[in-house]
Structure 1
Amino acid sequence: MMKTRRLRLFLYAMLVVTAQAQTSNFFVDGFHGGLYGHYPLDTYTQFMVDQLERYPDWRIGLEIEPETWDTVAVRTPEAYRLFKQKMMSSQVEVTNPTYAQPYLYNINGESIIRQFQYGMQKLRSHFPGISFNTYSSEEPCYTSQLPQLLRLLGFKYVALKCPDTCWGGYTEAHGGQLVNLVGPDGSKMIAVPRYACEKLQEGSVWQTIGWTNSEEYIRACEKAGIENPVGMCYQDAGWTYGPWLRDRKGQTQYVRWTDYIDRYTQKKNVEEWRWSQEDIHPGLMWGSQVMQRIGRQVRQAENLLVQAEKLGVLTGHRMDQWQMDEAWRTLMLAQHHDSWIVPYNNLKDYGTWADAIRMWTDCSVATARKMMSDAIAVGKQGGPYVTFYNTTAHRRQEVATTADGRLLWVDVPAFGQTTCRVDTAVAAQAREDRWQGETTAVLENDQYRLTFDLKRGGIVSSWIDKQQGGRELVDQRSTSHFGELKGYFNQHGGMRSSTESVATATCLADHPLKQQIRIDGYVAGVPFSHTITLTQGQRRVDCQLTINWTEDTSVGDPFRYRSNANRTPYYDTRYMLRMLFPVALQQPRLSKDAPFDVCESRLDDTFYNRWDSIKHNVVLNWVDLSEGRKGQGFALLSDHTTSYSYGADEPLALTVQYAGDGLWWRRYPINGATEMNYALVPHQGRWDQAQLQDMVDDWHNPLVASGCHAQQYPTRQLLAATCQLSAAMMQDDGAMILRLFNADGKGGREQLRLGFPVKDVVEVDLNGEPLAHHRPDAKGTISMKMPRFAIKTLKIYPER
């Protein structure tokens, strides 16, 4: 009995000692990179196997480009075989399965879905049975719609820390151990935030204090009442340190993200954090010429690939799936985060990242165009008739252009087609003598009357909105000028403006359906051409800007960047060359779109010049100013992801050019012409009342024209929806996949009307797993519960 009591006391004492010694600090270690980023293909897989064997209590998260394993399997088959075993063990977790590790916030929503779907498919082909539970990234690869998207992909959690690579930005510090992250559609997901106490590291421009579980970090967590705090560092693949915390191993326990959240956190009654796109602080080289070109190339490929898939469904043309997959692959590679943050770095045999992006997007665009041409091949003969195809889910009544440039007014049903006789249609003619020798030029149609002051560089001195009772859109009290190019030229006298030089005007098109002017002027001695197009019945004003640089010159903040200096010249847009738009609005609020989202800005202004105070000043597709539901509004659309600027004393402006010191002490030069397209949309009410998303959808999905000798195809409508059609594609089993996005509906229910008989309509998640069945009514209409910003994917089985 005495021996039993002593044994109990001994065991109790040992438990106390063990409990006292047991750590309550945790760390997520892991690796980031891959075939295109950085991954020593002949050695690194075996290195990871050896390290996992040597340290059985080590745990790692992986963010390795999925395509990497194709090459590893060939180059080092034995190491690949051994690592497959480790991948399925409790030591390893894949936290970012996207195909090419994109930043997410800078590409369209459909691209994000494909990045996950293709990446997860590739990983499952190498590691059957693999699961994806927690999303995490070394870089700030985040967007506001992650709660909904990740749930639809089967994830449980998300980690919002990226503490060791903040060059490209970081997330907002917020909350304690966990938050319940609320997306724009109301979807919720448990998340590990960058703690409110997790500061950016003193004297560094790329780390938070959480990247090494330093004493400072642990003390800050204790003071904030965070039990079981966790740090993180994803090492670049190629580093050979093994476990990262070599000097503090006894103080910290390595964990995988999912195990940490499941076992060491309290998930009940955690704070809800309604996440905004402005809680992501991305600091890239906006305005640099290389970024403009990358952004335009990626956006063009995104739009064409999605439209090609839709056109195949609309015409019944079966796409070559291998070719389409390859086109998406090259586009996804162009969306790699390294494409945007280190475009001038060398990339294997491709040259620089920028060189590779041009090659990849050229391939994607060529495939998309070929598939669109094949889909309408029946009309290649030409003739007096033209069939127009509408790949949006709403009716289009607008001016259309034939392949040879003739104009006509058409009425095309939603996701449908109509055939018109066009032999009487004529092209718009130029009138080169129209404004010759004049000091003003007037462009006018049924919507607007624009007056250009040629003495002041061709600015818009007056913009009358005829549809709003002759309202003047230009703020006549502003010291800035509408359409003015303005920026700081350090080698050419400082702040310079296009208003300093006289401009000329040329009439490019004079037609009842189309009016077009080209303004030719100078800014700091550099020639530019600015083309503005008015189209009958269209609220959108299309603009094209070309700056023909004669030399590489600095444009932007003249401050010289130094290593580890917090002030950075490439952040302050006030010094960059900008196109200014002072609009006559009273105390407007600013909104901007994001992937599958619209963010109402909380910023007083967009200006900053320090790494530790980055503000979200990114325009994905559009930014909008509005006085409210009963007031007026004005939207700016961009053909590429870039930055905008706005503040109490500064008008809305689009960033046009930065050239100078940049990330990693690299000079970002001017090389050739700057080219960009943008559009302007005056409107009533807020962006949603104006159906701005539909206008952008039309911009991204122009009507497709196909000539023919006879009216072979009458008007028909395949489907229509009260929300946006994000994607449409055919599967090998004959099923049609439709992805819907509720951009601006406010009733909570949306409708889809099908123009063909169906056997079944199954709502599926983004893995293709069934969620619900929908039964069309007698008119082929399906009514679905769908809050604003919700995404639904339907698998439709047509009757044969």
Structure 2
Amino acid sequence: MSKAYFVDGYHGGIKGHMPLGSWADVLRRMRETPDWKLCLDIEPISWDALRRTDPASYAEVRRLIMEREKPRVEVVAASYAQPFGWVIGGESNIRQLIRGKALVEAHFPGIDVDTYATQEPCWSSSLPQILRSLGYKRAVLKNPGTAWGGYASGIDRETVLWVGPDGTAIPCVPRYACEELVNCWETEAGYMEPAFADKCVRLGIAHPVGSFLQDLGWPANPRHRREALRFVTWREYMDEIAEEPTEAWAFTQEDIRCTLPWGEGTLQRMSREVRAAENKIVAAEKLASVAGVLRGAAYPEARLQEAWDQLLLSQHHDAWICATTRTGREQWAWQAGAQSWMAEQSCDGVLDAALDSFKREARAGEAPGIRVFNLSGAERKEVAEIEIPASGAAASFRVRNGDGIEVPSQVVPTRARPDGTLHACKLLFEAETPAMGYRTYAVEPLRPEEVERSGGIAAEARAHAVVHEDCATIATDLYDIRIDTARGGVIASWKDKRLNREIVATGRAFNEFAGYLISERRWASSTEAPAMATIKENGPLRVVLELKGTFAGTGYVTTVTAAAGQRSVDFHVRFQYERDTWIGDPWEMAPEDRNTERRKSHHHTRRKLQARFPAALDDREIYKNSAFDVTLSRHADTHYERWDEIKHNIVLHWIDVYDPRRDYGLAVFADHATDYSHAKDEALALTLGWGGEGGFWWGKRPLNGVQEMRYAVLPHGGRWDRAGIQQACARWMEPLLPAFGFHSGASSMSLFRVTDPAIEVSSVTMDGEDLLVRLYNSGSEARSCSIVLGAPLSAGDLSLVELDGKPLSALSSDVLPDQTREAKLSLPRQGLATVRIGGMRTAAMNS
């Protein structure tokens, strides 16, 4: 009988499960069982709660955690809210660990949290470089509770070097390929029995190890009791028992085989809310930093931390895997929605204060203007949009840049007087903005007679729409689009003018809504009924076309938005389900089988309600992004039905289908994490909704009420990296930020710029007088670039630091003839670098 090892312990905390007395129970069992050892993946905010509610248990747990001689307890992971890393962005993955470790270290000074191990599939493929930068020495890709979110790919090795997309490696215990995918409650009689250990040894795994981090709150008992099984911590096992890893394992995002019932109404709404807060909080940090340097505004560190704390809690894995469980305000999805809303509210306050720092009181006879902020590392030229008030007899507006030159603009009335003059309007104009800075524009009101006489640049139509009897057409400087209103508003033709290509596959319906109606036992399509087209905006800069149609009796409204010079075309779709509607795989199960049945209706993505994008492409490669990574799909198709057959089909921010022979592709951006389907003989399709039997946690979940989604489609020449898909999606998620009012300071200013467009500015924060700038190489190969500080700024020392700001190395810089300052650096593909720019606030205020 082979010797085997077992890592026992607990996960959870006050967010998940930590009833009063649970720690006292654990401690009692530890005293009774001297060989029992624990790894703890506890939500760090739980330590405050334990100290307050059960100080005696807190003191004893603290003593065990701080023990240096023959320790029995190891704190692992220490993320703030134990998130599924594969459904959140890169910055969220980083902040979860930075914030969580800081709280743990405050409770247990001097503790080493250097093992990343979790009970749930809380991974993303870019974790090796994140973990290494934050001081982790080892990782684990086992999650023995494999009944819920999913699991990792397996490899029959005792240890491996987990290699991330940037080339960083970390020693890792993988899930063995020979492991059975057993339900979490079956592990005691399952994969750690003697026969399994013997099998592992025969396969070359000399020291087989299993693990189970139990739910905190379960009756305290060692998970296993067997003579041949030795309890260890992960640090003990990897440092003292397991063989040193020698084999590199390039673990990709597709090796994270996870699934959720994407398209379910509650989950979809929550996912959209979390994404919106993610986008806003990064923008708020950037703008607060710009205001801190250029205007000397106090950096709202506490308010931003409060926003991050709320956002991080909304990303808790239980909020996603059991979103619909509990009732009322205890429901996981309700709490996640409230937390993301509170995060956004805090960010709105930060953004408003930062914008206000650039404003001043009006001078006599002065007209207000618009200052447009660009929070990316590259210059941008695109349509900016802002709603502004109007007074007097203004019927329209003219926009001029700092040199007095009129720029293309468009006015969309939002509130008008009976004579056509305005109370308020949306003002769109073509803004050219420097990197990480702003440019100011003058706004001139026009009286009705001036509007009639005006012509010139503002009236040049570069985007317009026409509604015909059975179709509608949209034309911009980039595209000609024909929409078939007789067939539900699908796109019948989409011409790329620049490359002279037809995007839509011959005879196919592009942006068709289709799915399988379970109650009617048939496939349904939006092409079955006509749609009514209404032009909401008609140039000269932007077109918004509204389409009202029905899908099998369910009403929907789609808006299609195309703008001059804009490569992506936006779609927003809103379904109104008046009754319970079931769309998906008609797979049923008895309620008593929900916790064991491995086939689920939501696994069959193709039968969900989808938006389908049949493109004129032959050979097809699928690329998709994740947190600080882009993956080429290995799947011939995305089809599976059982939980033990999962294929990765998750869209985080974007997915791209590319034809290498034609050197042409089509990218789709999504406003939330969801899934997609694709096969050789099927079009790329994005999930819009699902209603069916979800099994354990979910039960039967119909579509009901309002369900909506925003996505964008970008046709392109060249592969995703050459076409700048990652950068285009980043701009889509972080639009230009215009502010109306009376502005002080220079009419245009740039804090810094990055010379390579593939190098994204992932975050900008302030640390005292210093600026911390995180850069991400989103390209497919190593890149060299410069970060150039805008004149007249001159900063103190520049250095490279770890993700949490700890020093790494000095960074040399040169002053250029135009008095800007340049520092050169190199980043590996998909790599990160954080630059500390010393004394930026002081330098700016003295300039």
Q: TM-score, normalised by structure 1?
A: 0.92
Deviations 1:622-642 (A, max 9, x none): 000112397111100000000
Q: Does residue 548 of the first structure (1) align with residue 548 of the second (2)?
A: no
Report the Cα distance in structure 2 between the residues aligned to 1:434 and 1:228, rounded to whole angstroms.
68
- Give the superposition deviation at 1:286: 0.8
Match of 1:91 in 2: 72
Within the alignment, does 1:341 sit opposite 2:377 as a pair? no
The one-letter amino acid paired with 2:526 is S
Amino acid aligned to 2:37: R
Match of 2:402 in 1: none
Q: In the alignment, is residue 128 of structure 1 matched against residue 160 of structure 2?
A: no
> How far is the alpha carbon of 1:211 from its aligned partner?
6.2
The structural deviation recorded for 1:53 is 2.4
Amino acid at match of 1:33: G
The aligned runs of 1:133-152 (5 Å cut-off) are: 133-152=114-133
Among 702, 727, 734, the residue aligned to 2:763: 727
Match of 1:370 in 2: 349
Pair 1:423-2:471 in alignment: no
Contact 1:476 1:584 in 2 (8 A): yes
Aligned match of 2:4: 25
Q: Deviations over 1:528-582 (max 9, x none)?
A: 1111111111101111010111111111111113412332211101111000000
Distance of 2:189 and 2:798 partners within structure 1: 48
- Could you tell me which residue of structure 2 aligns to residue 290 of structure 1? 266
Deviations 1:399-447 (A, max 9, x none): 11123311111110111110011226999999xx986671011011101
The residue number in structure 2 matching 1:446 is: 477
Residue of structure 2 in register with 1:398 after alignment: 382
Number of the residue aligned with 1:315: 291
Amino acid aligned to 2:436: F
**Quick one: percent identity of the two aligned structures?**
36
Alpha-carbon shift at residue 319 of structure 1 (Å): 3.2
**Pair 1:571 & 2:600 matched:** no
How far apart are the structure 2 equivalents of 1:86 and 1:237? 17
Aligned: 1:460 with 2:460: no
Partner SS, residue 58 of structure 2: helix
Where does residue 147 of structure 2 map in the other structure? 166
Equivalent AA in structure 1 for residue 270 of structure 2: I
Q: Which moves more between the two structures, 593-602 or 393-402?
A: 393-402
2:48 aligned residue: 70
1:794 aligns to 2:775 (yes or no): no
Q: Distance in 1 between matches of 2:472 and 2:195?
A: 65
User: What does residue 399 of structure 2 align with?
Assistant: none
Aligned CA distance change for structure 1 residues 118 and 210 (closer, same or farther; 3 Å):
farther
Amino acid at match of 1:716: M
Q: Does 1:501 align with 2:479?
A: no
Tell me how far apart the structure 1 counterparts of residues 824 and 76 of structure 2 sit (CA, whole Å).
36
**Hey, what does 2:777 align to over in structure 1?**
742
Check conservation: 1:541, 1:680, Cα contact below 8 A: yes
Partner SS, residue 723 of structure 2: coil
> Does the CA-based 8 Å contact 1:526-1:550 persist in structure 2?
yes
Q: Distance in 1 between matches of 2:120 and 2:429?
A: 49
Contact 2:581–2:702 (8 Å) recurs in 1: yes
What one-letter code is carried by the residue in structure 1 that aligns with 2:836? Answer: K
* Deviation (angstroms), 1:285: 1.1
Deviation string, structure 1 residues 203-254 (Cα, Å, up to 9, x no partner): x4886799651133213202212101101111111112421113x1x11110
User: 1:110-135: per-residue Cα shift (whole Å, max 9, x none)?
Assistant: 01111001111111111111111211
Give the Å deviation of 1:477: 4.8
Equivalent residues of 1:487, 1:556 under 8 A apart: yes
Q: d(CA) in 2 for partners of 1:210 and 1:169?
A: 20
Distance 2:204 2:704 in 1: 53
Correspondence for 1:330: 310
| Contact preservation (8 Å) 2:288, 2:300 | no
Partner of 1:681: 714
In structure 2, distance between residues paired with 1:711 and 1:48:
61
1:277 and 1:354 map into 2 onto residues whose CA distance is 26
C-alpha distance in structure 1 between counterparts of 2:636 and 2:806, whole Å: 44
Q: Measured at CA, do residues 585 and 436 of structure 1 come closer, stay the same or move farther in structure 2, by a change above 3 Å?
A: closer
Q: Is 1:475 matched with 2:459?
A: no
Match of residue 166, structure 2, among 172, 178, 185: 185
User: Contact between 2:466 and 2:474, CA under 8 Å: does it hold in 1?
Assistant: no
Q: Which residue of 2 aligns with 1:487?
A: 515
2:588 to 543, 560, 564: 560
Assess if the C-alpha contact under 8 Å between 2:465 and 2:473 holds in 1.
no
Relative to 1, partners in 2 of residues 1:652 and 1:329: Cα closer, same or farther, differing over 3 Å?
same
Give the structure 2 partner of residue 9 of structure 1. none
Give the alignment partner of residue 260 of structure 1, picking from 219, 227, 237. 237
Greater Cα offset, 555-564 or 101-110:
555-564
Structure 1 residue aligned with 2:544: 516
Letter in 1 for 2:58: Y
Deviation (angstroms), 1:493? 4.8
Supply the distance in 2 between the matched residues of 1:415 and 1:537 (Cα, whole angstroms): 21
The residue type equivalent to 2:469 in the other structure is: E
Query: Does the C-alpha gap of structure 1 residues 211 and 152 become closer, same or farther in structure 2, counting only changes over 3 Å?
Result: farther
Shift of 1:708: 2.6
On the 8 A contact 1:145/1:183 being kept in 2, the answer is yes
Change in 2 beyond 3 A, CA 1:208/1:53: closer
| Paired residue total | 766
Could you tell me which runs of 5 or more consecutive residues in structure 2 were left unpaired when the two chains were aligned.
Answer: 389-425, 452-457, 843-847
> Which residue is 1:649 aligned to?
681
Give 1:384 shift.
3.8
Shift of 1:257: 0.5
2 CA distance for matches of 1:497 and 1:402? 37
Q: Give the match for residue 659 of structure 1.
A: 691
Which secondary structure state, in structure 1, belongs to the residue aligned with residue 648 of structure 2?
A: coil
Counterpart in 1 of 2:557? 529
The aligned amino acid for 1:748 is: R
Q: Which amino acid in the other structure matches residue 552 of structure 2?
A: A
Tell me the equivalent position of 1:5. none
**Code of the aligned partner of 1:318:** A
Aligned pair 1:777/2:787, yes or no? no
Tell me: CA distance 1:381–1:693, structure 2 relative to 1, closer, same or farther (3 Å). farther
2:666 to 609, 630, 634: 634
How far is the alpha carbon of 1:163 from its aligned partner? 1.6
Alignment correspondent of 2:421: none
CA offsets, 1:691-712, max 9 Å, x none?
A: 1111111112111111234674
Match of 2:724 in 1: 691
Helix, strand or coil for the counterpart of 1:520? strand
Q: Give the conservation status (yes or no) of the 8 Å contact 1:380–1:707.
A: no
> Whole-Å Cα distance in 1 between the matches of residues 537 and 195 of structure 2?
66
* Residues 709 and 67 of structure 1: CA distance in aligned 2, closer, same or farther (over 3 Å): closer
Give the drift of 1:24: 2.8
Alpha-carbon distance between aligned partners in 1 of 2:38 and 2:460, rounded to the nearest angstrom? 65
* Contact 2:270 2:337 (8 Å CA) reproduced: yes
TM-superposed deviation, 1:748: 3.3
Distance, in Å, in 2 between the alignment partners of 1:532 and 1:125 is 51
Rate the CA distance shift 1:207–1:694 in 2: closer, same or farther, 3 A.
farther
Q: How does 1:37-76 map to 2 (within 5 A)?
A: 37-40=16-19, 42-76=20-54
In the alignment, what sits opposite 2:431?
Answer: 410
Distance 1:518 1:237, change over 3 A: same
Correspondence 1:299 to 2:275: yes
Query: What residue number does 2:218 align with?
Result: 239
Distance (whole Å) between structure 2 residues aligned to residue 99 and residue 65 of structure 1: 6
- For the 8 Å contact 2:465–2:475, the answer to whether it is kept is no
Q: What is the aligned partner in structure 1 of residue 396 from structure 2? A: none
Pairing partner for 1:538 from 566, 581, 586: 566
SS of equivalent residue, structure 1 residue 671: strand
Supply the distance in 2 between the matched residues of 1:682 and 1:600 (Cα, whole angstroms): 18
In the alignment, is the contact (CA less than 8 A) between 2:10 and 2:213 conserved in 1?
yes
Gaps of 5+ in 1: 1-20
SS at match of 1:27: strand
Map 1:99-138; keep pairs closer than 5 Å: 99-138=80-119
Cα distance change of structure 1 residues 747 and 28 upon mapping to structure 2, 3 Å threshold:
closer
Q: Would you say the 8 A contact 2:188–2:224 is kept in 1? A: no
Shift of 1:51: 2.3
**CA displacement at 1:777 relative to structure 2:** 1.2
Counterpart residue identity of residue 560, structure 2 = I
